[in-house]
Amino acid sequence: MTPDQVVSRLESGMTLGIGGWGSRRKPMALVRALLRSEVTDLTVVSYGGPDVGLLAAAGKIRKLVTAFVTLDSIPLEPHFRAARERGAFDLVELDESMFMWGLTAAAHRLPFLPTRAGLGSDVLRVNPQLRTVTSPYADGEELVAVPALELDAALVHVNAADARGNGQYLGPDPYFDDLFCAAAQQAYLSCERIVDTADLLKAGAPQTLLIKRADVTGVVETPNGAHFTSCAPDYDRDEAFQRAYAQAAADPEAWAAFERRFLSGDEDAYQAAVTNFRQEAQR
Amino acid sequence: MTTTRAEYCVVACAEAWRGDGEILATPMGTVPTIGARLARLTFSPDLLLTDGEAMFIGDVPAVGAKAEVVEGWLPYRQHLSMVAGGRRHVMMGASQIDRHGNQNISCIGDWPRPTRQLLGVRGAPVNTVNNPTSYWIPKHSPRVFVAAVDMVCGVGFDRAAAAGPAASRFHGLRVVVSDLGVFDFETPDRTMRVRSLHPGVDVEQVQAATGFPLAVPEQVPTTREPSESELRLIREVIDPKGLREREVRA
């Protein structure tokens, strides 16, 4: 598939999970394809980074479910911050582990999972829909019942995959991409390279085979497709580009120029503009 | 060379992990990172440390340098399990903190439409009800030490008690270290108390920089001096570039 074909399967109003973490291994080529599309009014479920920032800047988010939005080396995501401060969308603000249990519950087809996280905090105040559950055993503990985060679709990016959707991560952390895929009705996997199934174990041990093809609807080969987030060991975060993104995001005119330069064409045009940006920086 | 304020802060942060045994030390910020590494190299040798990403490190490199030895794997999902299991002591930052130890890193103002959006709650809720938690405040001011935080991310003693036994069972805030002193909650009503002040800081100064009344013991101790070997470790081994001095005003 191509990124545009993936997005053609998505509809406005969907609940969309986006894998990765902060500014790490985000399916950015698929997010860029979303930006080119008419799809909007999304409920986005993400350990947020520039994926959330770009979709917020494009006005495509109706509701965001997250524990944070960050660029990692730049702590605050400027588009997310601006969107929140103008009240641009609804927010379901969960603790990091509540978010994980919500995905896990959906992947296990459970209505909720109990956790201690959230007790005593204002996460319960700002999410009046959250309920507690009392242990039926002797301890009688009253815990938070994190509802399942069921997804209409998930977008994730890994280092390698075969054409059938067996996905392989080769960096230090799987993040939660397997859970996103298992929690979704449809899951789309972009990868640095599509390889023969017989070659998957040449790149890494069996435990690098993170995502099962039964959980994947479509596979897209998008080299440099996590740019400008990190995709170790293929590449690190493009810090210079991320700085340029964050600076542009802080100013409407600069952002319009950034969009013209990088986001007005297709993925090939984006990658060419990034190459050009790097060459300029080296001069 | 006299001991700098930042070096007293490093030692005070290190002291937070004294006696913790074989648990994960999770420092956030430069001075706590130096402190955790100092503790591991001296009085708490069994502490586990990470590279800030997914690896337990087996050696103790300088801040900013890469570890040469990996002794284990800790991706985010396992880190969250370790939090819930309790074998961890985190030192977080705080945009706001109140006298009961409630902490905010999410946003300033009304949550539905904040005047200033910050990080979000991150892992503060799960941290504070599961494992020992301390805080590091590099610039002690009434904007940080407030009467009431705008959004409770990290749970304070009053909120943990009100939320019931499941919330208070493993809750325990240890210390708050700032550029002015060290604070704890060792009072009958579990409110913030002066444990020690750094040399050159007096009670009036710290109270003026705090937006609520602090409990003050009759005799206020002074934060302890680093030993010669601790100073050498800080200056030559852990932080030879002096990054600590950038985080703490002179």
Q: What is the pLDDT of residues B164-197, one digit of tens each?
A: 999 999 999 999 999 999 999 999 999 999 999 9
- The pLDDT of residue B250 is 66
User: From CA A72, how far away is CA B55, in angstroms rounded?
Assistant: 17
Judge contact between A48 and A39, C-beta under 8 A. no
| pLDDT of B230 over the 90 cut | yes
Token pair recorded at residue B86:
């309790």
Please, is A62 exposed, middle or buried when counting C-beta atoms within 10 Å of its C-beta (0-12, 13-18, 19+)? middle
Judge contact between B89 and B32, C-beta under 8 A. no
Closest of B53, B56, B26, B55 to residue B39, by C-alpha: B26
| pLDDT of B1 over the 90 cut | no
The SS3 call for residue B215 is strand
Q: How high is the mean pLDDT in each 10-residue block of chain A (283 residues)? A: 97 98 98 98 98 98 98 96 97 98 98 98 98 98 98 98 98 98 98 98 98 98 98 98 97 97 97 97 84
In percent, the amount of chain B with pLDDT more than 70 equals 100
B72 touches chain A (CB under 8 A): no
| Pairwise CB contact (< 8 Å): B153 & A122 | yes
- The pLDDT of residue A167 is 98
- The pLDDT of residue A170 is 98
Give mean pLDDT, residues B97-104.
98
Residue with tokens 């004294």: B18
Closest CA in chain A for residue B159: A120
Closest of B103, B194, B212, B77 to residue B157, by C-alpha: B103
Residue with tokens 């937006």: B211
| CA distance to partner chain B, nearest, from residue A210 (Å) | 13
| pLDDT of B68 over the 70 cut | yes
| CA distance to partner chain B, nearest, from residue A91 (Å) | 8
Q: Which domains does chain A have, with CATH numbers?
A: 3-97+149-221 (3.40.1080.10), 112-147 (no CATH), 239-282 (no CATH)
Radius of gyration of chain A (CA): 19
Residue type, B200: G
The SS3 call for residue A219 is strand
Cβ-Cβ contacts under 8 Å, A95 against chain B: 121-126
| Pairwise CB contact (< 8 Å): A67 & B165 | no
| Pairwise CB contact (< 8 Å): A97 & B111 | no
Asked: is B5-245 a CATH 3.40.1080.10 domain? The reply is: yes
Segment (H or E) for A283: none
Nearest to A85 among B53, B114, B164 (CB): B114
User: From CA B232, how far away is CA B136, in angstroms rounded?
Assistant: 23
Token pair recorded at residue A58:
């494009």
B173 touches chain A (CB under 8 A): no
Residue type, B97: I
In percent, the amount of chain B with pLDDT more than 90 equals 99
User: In Å, how far are A32, A74, A240, A244, B118 from A252, measured between CA atoms?
Assistant: 19, 19, 20, 14, 20
Domain range annotation of chain B? 5-245
| pLDDT of B143 over the 90 cut | yes
B89 touches chain A (CB under 8 A): no
